[in-house]
A and B are shown apart, each in its own frame.
Chain A
Amino acid sequence: MISTLFEIFKSNMVQIPLIQPIIDYLMQIPLINFIVALILWRPFFAVVIIPGLTVLLLYLLYIVWFERKLTARVQWRVGPLEVARPIRGAIQALADGLRYFFQEAIVHKEAHRPYFVQLPILAFIPILLPIAFIPAGNVVGIKSPYAVQLVVAFLALIPITIIAIGWASNNRFAFIGSVREALIYVSYEIPFIIAVSSMIYLYGSGDPYVAVEKQSIVPGAIMNPIAFLVFIIAMLMATSRLPFEIPEADQEIAFGPFVEYSGMLFGLVMVLAYEKLYVMALLFVILFLGGWSGFYCELLGDLNAPLWLFIKTIIVISILAIVRSMYARYRIDQAVRYSFSWLIALSIVALVIGIAVGWIV
């Protein structure tokens, strides 16, 4: 049994010439070779190391710090610094996370107790499942010709958990937040899906490999700039970032659905939007910015593709973080009106362009 598994892992390992001598040495030791083979097994590597959970955690530490630092610089402040002076306070998010981890998690009397505790953990399922389908070169969890469609379908499940969180909290602010989340959900989801399907028409397939191959000369952002624009705006709306930070408006409704959460549970629900942003940015990079294609380094071998994908994703998210410190918030009616008039019109134009370009190419 174990030997069969070992053979399966061994036959499909990530090849990295840089650390190949170390791996060769470790593979001779019994038991450790099994663990090494498991870690370097391509599907496991894709889901757990890169672009999966490990870099997701690193990304969370980075983006929270980067956002606070950037906002501080815009406001002529310094931002988090003293926690680790030599690296400009880059582990501030770690300190906040540890504090949340050790704080008391209050479950108040009016809450629906089982759902209130379970839902933050259940909300991770629709966030982690897409990562299994997003490939990075040879490193891929589950290979599927319908990967793009599947990722979009899983992303559509996340607001449902957030609405359920608001319901389980049994708080008036949480109710208002849930209703706002539902409104924003219907208003961004339609342009988002139309923009993605325009790119699927353009490439002729929902397979990320085909999409990346077709972008080898011209990136998708230039082939269909309007879909690019619609995708960015839908991304801002979906992750409730600032021009559309309507469900979690902390000045009016005190973080909306998450108002009653404290301690570790709040730590879990607070990063939901950031994780959603990560998955959407991965999809964005694959559809519009040429995916994992980039300068090839011989020493890194198979690690090239995931690294390029991750670096591009981080750059996209860092640029989007600037929006947060520059814009004021829309009212709910403005956001809904805007998305149901202009955004849908733009997305239909993008669909026409996608079909036309796909027909020519």
Chain B
Amino acid sequence: MEEFTKFVRGGILGPIKKWGTKWSLWPVHLVTACCGAELAHAFACGYDGERIGALNYGIARQTNLIIVEGAITRKMARVLRITWEQMPDPKFVIVMGACGLNGGIFWNGYNLVKPSEVVPVEFFIPGCPPTPEALLRGIRQLQIKLDKGVAENSVSFSEVKAEKGKKPRILPRGVKKVSLAPCIVIAREKEVEWELGKNLCEKLKVLGRAVITARNRIALKVDPDKLRSSAMKLRDLGFDHVKSVNVVDAPNEGKFIVEYWISSYSVKELMPVLINLHSEISRREPKISSLSDIFPSADYLEREMQDLFGVEFVGNPWKGRFLLAPDAPEAPLRKDFKLQEEVYVGD
């Protein structure tokens, strides 16, 4: 049987197979970006790709060519691979556009995958986007390559034994389980070579848990009642302003994490250093002492947090609304805040 298959796929009938495949390249087009418009142009009146036997077809099982149009993200890479695996054997891939070639304008995107890493690519068509002439030339080149090449399978799979007997009944899977309490990690320790940071850490360790999270970044966790004294200690070390105040809501753990990002303008070697001074407070009574008299730049930021999260900064003179409109709801950025449902008239 295997030899028969080999004979049918290649062998004496090879030229016939090559001729048929050459003039019947049906592309299934995988549009992820604007190159799809150029493909539509190439197959509409004017250029008419059907002249050379290429007919656009939406279904992977009955086609033999993929035209990848545009950037392939990690999510789409899976789709590309599935589409490619669904297609029957003599199958080819053409990638059009700069995005598929080496990323294009997304060249340093964190989520970008090159199509050539996912499937074997026959031809790349450069351009942003390529013109219809370029696309048709790409298909033409594939035809020439088929004409000159050897008639053989474009892919080979390892042999799998066919199952015999009754198939086991597969029941549908249950509901996905979602973790109830995902832990929020603020400070994860990291090994870096940074002498100054290690010295600073040694000094800060008396206040609470001090770790280096990256180069020039230190996280210092203190108890809420030690916050003011820690801030004073930092001021004595040379840090003179608060860059940002931030509140993280962790409803599953029943706490708020209040962060102060502290840095320095006056001491030169401390300028690039950012210290994340944070402490956890209970969600039931969100109260923490203010640092606005130690670092005046924290004042407005604390007021904003008070508006958005409803955390009370004891010692901050401001009471009432700061940024939000007077009729805005309480603490809109808390995670358990429910949006008001829209009511459609006459529904």
Interface window among A18-26, A144-152, A158-166, A254-262:
A254-262
Note all chain A residues with C-beta closer than 8 A to B55. 68
Which residues of the partner chain A approach B8 to less than 8 Å between Cβ atoms?
Answer: 102
For residue A12, give the distance in angstroms from its CB to the closest CB of chain B.
38
CB-contact partner of A77 in B20, B44, B64, under 8 A: B44
Stretch at the interface among B46-54, B281-289, B303-311: B46-54
A-B contact pairs, 6 of them (CB 8 A): A72-B50, A77-B44, A99-B24, A101-B20, A102-B17, A102-B20
Q: Tell me the B5-19 residues at the A interface (CB within 8 Å).
A: 8-9, 13, 16-17, 19
Whether B20 and A82, one on each chain, are in contact in the complex, defined by CB atoms closer than 8 angstroms, is no
For A204, what are the chain B residues with a Cβ–Cβ distance below 8 Å? none
A81 on interface, CB distance cutoff 8 Å: yes
Do A79 and B51 form a contact, CB below 8 Å, given A102-B13, A263-B88?
yes
Nearest residue, chain B, Cβ from A255 = B59
The reply to whether B20 and A75 form a contact with Cβ atoms under 8 Å apart is: no
Nearest residue in B to A75 (C-beta to C-beta)? Answer: B45
A7 interface contact, C-beta 8 A = no
Of A90-98, A134-142, A176-184, A229-237, the segment with at least 4 beta carbons within 8 Å of chain B is A90-98
Known interface pairs A104-B88, A260-B61, A262-B61; 4 further A-B residue pairs with C-beta atoms within 8 A, sorted by A's residue number: A77-B45, A103-B64, A261-B62, A262-B62
A97–B89 Cα distance when bound, in Å, is: 15
A46-78 residues at the B interface, CB under 8 angstroms: 68, 72, 75-78
Is B89 within 8 A of A95, CB to CB? Answer: no
Given A68-B50, A82-B52, A103-B88, the answer on whether A92 and B45 have CB atoms closer than 8 Å is no
Which one of B8, B50, B87 has the greatest number of beta carbons of chain A within 10 Å? B50
In the assembled complex, A266 has its CB within 8 A of some CB on chain B: yes
Q: Kindly state whether residue A213 has any CB partner on chain B within 8 Å.
A: no
Which A residues are in CB contact (< 8 Å) with B58? Answer: 250-251, 254
Instruction: Please judge, given known A-B contacts A72-B50, A76-B45, whether A95 and B19 are in contact too, CB under 8 Å.
Output: yes
Q: List the A side residues contacting B90 at CB < 8 Å.
A: 102-104
User: In the bound complex, do residue A261 and residue B23 qualify as a contact, i.e. CB atoms below 8 Å apart?
Assistant: no
Which positions in B face A, CB cutoff 8 Å? 8-9, 13, 16-17, 19-24, 44-45, 48, 50-53, 55, 58-59, 61-62, 64, 86-90
Task: Across the interface, name the chain B residue whose C-beta is closest to A107.
Answer: B162
Give 1 or 0 for each of A249-277: 1 = CB within 8 Å of chain B CB. 01100110001111100100000000000
Task: Please determine whether A80 and B88 come into contact, CB atoms closer than 8 angstroms.
Answer: no
Q: How near does chain B come to A247, taking the closest CB pair, in angstroms?
A: 15
CB pair A77–B50 under 8 Å, yes or no, is: yes
Let me know if B89 and A77 touch, CB within 8 A.
Answer: no
B52 contacts which chain A residues (CB < 8 A)? 81-83
A106 to B62, CA, bound (A): 10
- Which one of A72, A77, A266 lies within 8 Å of B62 (CB-CB)? A266
Q: For A80, list chain B residues within 8 Å (CB).
A: 50-51, 53
Cα–Cα distance between A101 and B24 once the two chains are bound (Å): 12
Please give, as numbers and ranges, the residues of chain A lying within 8 Å of B53 by CB-CB distance. 80, 82-83, 89, 92, 95-96
The distance from the CB of A314 to the nearest CB of chain B, in whole angstroms, is: 23
Nearest-neighbour CB distance to chain A for B199, whole angstroms, equals 63
Asked if B51 and A78 make an inter-chain contact with CB atoms under 8 angstroms apart, the answer reads yes
CA distance A83 to B13 in the complex (A): 19
Q: Which of A81, A89, A259 contacts B59 (CB 8 A)?
A: A259
Q: How far is the CB of B146 from chain A (nearest CB, A)?
A: 11
Closest to A266 in B: B62
B20 near A98: Cβ-Cβ < 8 Å: yes
The verdict on A335 contacting chain B, using a C-beta distance below 8 Å, is no
CA A68 to CA B55, docked complex, whole Å: 10
Q: Are B61 and A98 in contact (CB under 8 A)?
A: no
- Whether the pair A106, B61 counts as a contact (CB closer than 8 A) is yes
**B20 — which chain A residues lie within 8 A by C-beta?**
94-99, 101-102
In order of increasing CB-CB distance, the 10 nearest A-B pairs are A98-B20, A104-B89, A76-B45, A95-B23, A104-B88, A99-B24, A99-B20, A102-B17, A262-B88, A77-B48
Assess the B44–A96 pair: CB atoms within 8 A: no
Smallest CB-CB separation from A113: which chain B residue? Answer: B162
Q: Could you tell me the distance between the alpha carbons of A101 and B59 in the complex, rounded to whole angstroms?
A: 18
Which of B45, B48, B88 meets A105, CB within 8 Å? Answer: B88
CB pair B64 A99 closer than 8 Å: yes
Distance in angstroms from B132 CB to nearest chain A CB is: 13
Give every chain A residue within 8 A of B51 (Cβ-Cβ): 78-82, 89
How far apart sit A262 and B88, CA to CA, in the bound complex (Å)? Answer: 7
The answer for the CA separation of A77 and B13 in the assembled complex, in Å, is: 33
In the bound assembly, the distance between CA atoms of A76 and B20 in angstroms comes to 26
Give the chain A neighbours of B22 by CB distance below 8 A: 95
Taking A72-B48, A77-B45 as contacts, is the C-beta distance between A98 and B88 under 8 angstroms? no
Measured CB to CB, the closest approach of chain B to A329, in angstroms, equals 15
Closest Cβ neighbor of A267 among chain B residues:
B62
The interface residues of chain B lying within 8 Å CB-to-CB of A259 are 59, 61
- Of A79, A99, A250, chain B has the most CB atoms within 10 Å of the CB of A99
Cβ-closest chain B residue relative to A112: B167
Contact across chains for B21 and A99 when beta carbons are under 8 A apart: yes
Give the residues in chain B near A103, CB-CB below 8 Å.
64, 88-90
The smallest C-beta distance from A118 to any residue of chain B, in angstroms, reads 17
What B residues does A83 contact at CB under 8 A?
23, 52-53
Complex Cα distance, B53 from A98, in Å, reads 13
A104–B152 CA distance with the chains assembled, in angstroms: 12
Chain B residues near A102: list those with CB within 8 A. 8-9, 13, 16-17, 20-21, 90
Known contacts: A77-B44, A77-B50. The answer to whether A98 contacts B89 by CB under 8 A is no
B343 to chain A, nearest CB (A): 32
Q: Which residue of B lies closest to A105 (CB)?
A: B88
Given A101-B20, A104-B89, A106-B88, the answer on whether A79 and B50 have CB atoms closer than 8 Å is yes
Shortest distance between the CB of B150 and any CB in chain A (Å): 14
A177 CB, min distance to chain B CBs, angstroms: 12
Instruction: Point out the residues of chain B lying under 8 angstroms from A76, CB to CB.
Output: 45
